Amino acid sequence: MNPSFFYLYCIYLFLNDIYSIYSMIFICFKYTVYTYSISIIFTICNGNICCTF
């Protein structure tokens, strides 16, 4: 594996992680709106954003 490929792969993993966090926030927000619940708290667990009620 050459260094430039490894560098691009690290960027890919970083962007993929950001995308997964934002999509999880969006899913949590949609779920909160649909259930008319305002008691949602965003906590960080295992590097991801999770919903706790």
The pLDDT value recorded for residue 30 is 67
Query: Which residues lie below 8 Å from residue 31, measured CB to CB, with a gap of 6+?
Result: 37, 40, 51
Q: Which segments of 1-53 does DSSP mark as H helices, in order?
A: 3-34
- In angstroms, rounded to a whole number, what is the distance separating the alpha carbons of residues 37 and 19? 25
The string of pLDDT tens digits covering residues 25-52 is: 776 666 656 554 444 444 444 445 554 4
Where does the pLDDT of residue 22 fall: very low under 50, low under 70, confident under 90, or very high at 90 and above? confident
The pLDDT value recorded for residue 20 is 75
0.85 surpassed by pTM? no
Higher pLDDT, 40 or 22: 22
- Tell me which residue range forms the domain holding 48: 3-52
**What is the arithmetic mean of pLDDT over 10-39?**
67
Domain count, the chain: 1
